[in-house]
Amino acid sequence: MSPERVSWMAFVCVALAVPAAATERADVLRREIALPAGARTVEIDNVFGGVEVRGGAGDRVAVEIRRTATARREADLALAFDEVTLVVDEWANGVALVQDGPFRCEARGRDRRGRRHRWGDCRWDPDYELDWQWTVTVPAGVELEVRTVNGGAITVDGVRGGVSAANVNGPLRLAGLAGEVSAATVNGEIVAEYAIAPSADASFETVNGSIEIVLPAGSSADVNLETMNGELWSDFAVTAAPRRAEATASRRGDRYRLDHDTRVRIGAGGPRFECKTLNGDIVLRER
């Protein structure tokens, strides 16, 4: 073998070795929590990763988290698993499941566990990437509050109590809804499907994404639609609901204003739905 050929092969080996330096570690974390008697609330507070929640029978909350960390060095991987932990916070009215770590630097004041978050404690620049994919089964009747920020969708199916879902960089897919709904994201679509004709108010808000609401035939609601760069579509025969006039007094004078949203009524009208997006369509679909 000529010396040129050897050095060329050595170069290939080095080139292959560099990307291989990134390593990955994964595991599955399982927890099962019995909700205290009378507890009604389940809160899931994630930052990195997607969350899937299903309503089930019984009074237990079953959590399964596929945790993945990627880093260049083993030490960083260990740190990712060491400093980012699942905190299960049981309190009188329910349970909170929190992805806790040094990135929790928002000044929330005192959290539920009485721990004080300090201001200006936010210089978190890790040498690893983190992804927790949650699969949670909750009693179907609970009030669910679920949040995440990066790296995945929030999927909720069959939770019959109120659902409050907030994402930032990912969509919201809610199905089997029956209670009050609050859904907000920034970059992602919202799909919300009701199991029964809605009887409680709901709000759906995104910035970059469409909103699709699926209701059973015969549903009634008063819907407020607002999109800047998008279109409004409906399966239902809708009527224009009267716009409300507001009047306020100030030193500059009395102010009278017609709110500037598009209001429509489905069926006989009823619960108020607020739908708001900037870049995307809003679709009301009949199932």
Partner 1 sequence: MKIRTAISAVAALVVAPALAAGERLVVPLSDPAQPARLEVSLVMGSIEVVAGKAGEVVIEATPGALGEHDHDHECEDCPAIAGRAADKEERGRAKLKRIPNDSYELAAEEKANRVTVSTDSWARAIALRIAVPEASSVSLSTVNDGDLVVGGLSGEIELHNTNGNVTVRDARGPVSANTLNGDVTVSFGSNIASAPMAFSTLNGDIDLTLPAGARFDVRLKSENGEIYSDFDVVLARNAPKVEEERGKGRYRVSVTKELTGEVGGGGPEIFLKTFNGDIVLRRRDG
Task: Kindly list the residues in this chain that would bind partner 1 in the complex (CB under 8 A).
Answer: 225-227, 230-235, 237-249, 252-258, 260-262, 264, 281, 283, 285
Tell the smallest beta-carbon distance from residue 254 to partner 1 (Å): 5
Surface-to-core class of residue 247, CB atoms within 10 Å of its CB (0-12 exposed, 13-18 middle, 19+ buried): exposed
| Cβ-based nearer residue to partner 1, 48 or 273 | 273
CB 88 within 8 Å of CB 99: no
Distances (CA, A) of 169 to 42, 152, 205, 221: 22, 7, 13, 29
- Residue 12 sits at φ, ψ, to 5 deg, of -60, -45
Listing DSSP states for 27-50 in one string gives EEEEEEEEPPTT--EEEEE-SBS-
The Cα–Cα gap between 279 and 83 comes to: 38
Tell the smallest beta-carbon distance from residue 5 to partner 1 (Å): 55
| Cβ-based nearer residue to partner 1, 166 or 238 | 238
The Cα–Cα gap between 56 and 53 comes to: 10
Tell the smallest beta-carbon distance from residue 201 to partner 1 (Å): 20
| Cβ-based nearer residue to partner 1, 134 or 236 | 236
Tell the smallest beta-carbon distance from residue 245 to partner 1 (Å): 4
Tell the smallest beta-carbon distance from residue 264 to partner 1 (Å): 6
- Per DSSP, the three-state class of 72 is coil
| Cβ-based nearer residue to partner 1, 39 or 266 | 266
| Cβ-based nearer residue to partner 1, 30 or 252 | 252
